[in-house]
Amino acid sequence: MAEETDMGRPPKYDKEICKEVIALGKQGYSLTQIALELDIARSTLYEWRDKYPEFSDAIKKGREFAQGFWENALRSAALGLNDEGIMPNPTLMIFQMKNRFAEEWREKQTTEHEVNGAKKVVVEWGE
């Protein structure tokens, strides 16, 4: 975890933090959890992402690793693989996937209807 300064403020940005972001992503951490581990506000995480391209890349990689972590956990739960003796909760895991990784996991359905002489109607439902 990043060290605090003597004034209680989080440290200034350092490129080495990128490695920590990726490592936390590999453990399935969310952006909020990553910010907490770095001892920074989530808004600071976003500021650094917008200001430092290498940090932005680390955030992207970290999110991809986090998605892979949870997809592997969901796969293991679905196959009944569990070395820790903990009963997995696939419903909770799927809920998390749909919310954290909506681009690939959302359930969105689109239906299009076209009637002669009428405008095309598109109905979408779901997330």
Model confidence at 125, in pLDDT bands (50, 70, 90)?
Answer: low
In 3D, which of 62, 57, 126 has the Cα closest to residue 98? 126
The pTM of the full predicted model, rounded to 2 decimals, is 0.66
What are the pLDDT digits (tens) for 14-63? 999 999 999 999 999 999 999 999 999 999 999 999 999 999 999 999 99
In 3D, which of 72, 123, 67, 119 has the Cα closest to residue 97? 67
**CB 106, CB 93: distance < 8 Å:** no
Q: Mean pLDDT, to the nearest integer, of 74-81?
A: 75
Domains of the chain, with CATH numbers?
17-126 (1.10.10)
Higher pLDDT, 77 or 3: 77
**CB 25, CB 64: distance < 8 Å:** yes
CA distance 20 to 26: 10
| Dihedrals phi, psi of 42, to nearest 5 degrees | -60, -35
CA distance 114 to 116: 7
